[in-house]
Structure 1
């Protein structure tokens, strides 16, 4: 990726090397943990067993934020990608007569307190709406390359853009509506189906960022779009379930199939138009 001219976001907090305090969570956080677990093929029971004492975590997370060291190339890359998402979504929101509220991005190693409970590396990158922060252990990028066979900088950038997509959904009130509908449904299969539409929309939003960022700054090298498509395909529910369980259970999908994830990312990438990302009105995903 051509990011030399991209300014680094000032909204990156470095907690690597810091301690973590165990905590507990509420119902909303359990849904976040379940979604994060399904996203990366981890047994949700394992994820839920790792979080406790959220009130203590919230106070711990209020410690003064540290900035990444200037010579940390990976942290610099993440900060530039985040800065690019900020420029894109500021423009999109301004076009709609709204103001974009930038999220924070937290770098951590192993575990960290969040307003959604204790975040663990095993959960993969995730967004916590309660504190409007994206969390990522940079070791995940090794997993992306080695476990998911999705190397490349644009694949790494897609991961950040997807989580920022969840922040956009939070700002627009989409996430709250979905979670309310999930609780009202009283049906796990129906709740999962809504989760799939939420996640596919975040994929589409990531594509919108890719289109607009490249249009504004020509950030992509030839062939890099395929890197993100490979990453989206690698973390489809069907592929992850086949790898981890040996069988596919569509009713338990929470993020969409590989084909669906690629389709919606590509839809946003091709159009650069958020209006093309209405997964909730789509008759077919």
Structure 2
């Protein structure tokens, strides 16, 4: 079964230590375009996360939002080197006294001094913590992938409805084709009958010109090719995985044959069917852009 590139998945985890939430939203794109938002302590995990996303979702515009909240107020997201802070503060205070400056900003300066405050990702990760986060992310990706598969099944049935409508119109064009030829013959006969009675002409040459004219207006080959393209489109629909680009190419070929039938037929009855076929094809093309 085909798979859509539109998807959504969310996963949550909570225990006595922290709350974790991962949300994944996807849209169509020619390539994998990942936008990852995560806490600073997991910023070095982007490559690892990108690998999971690529393996699970393959391509598309992916927005992954990871939220992590520690429950315990005693746990800070940073490490503070208090001894180093005191050293900086005392040094700045001594310097201020030498020049007669006030020490209003000394606390702030000491707190912002190098290596006084270190974020957790610089200090080192908690392996158990990351394993839990990893499981939450992967669960959200699985749910998003399942959403894509469900959406793909819906699109599959829409494609089949569009194809069926085009097939029905093609069948009606095939029924109209003999009538169209007869109408053309009658029109030529009526227009030239009087002229042929009053003027001499080469019958063989005239017959050759008529054959050439009918060959230019003949749509038999286009009808056959259109039917073949429709069958090939359906075959690739049923093959399932990663058919989006191929379905787009096939729909272009279908469009060529429909346009040629319309221009060569030059017939109002057939043109009505062509217009409906074009409308159905536009729906197919729009939907095909969203197929993985």
State the TM-score, normalizing by the size of structure 2: 0.19
State the TM-score, normalizing by the size of structure 1: 0.19
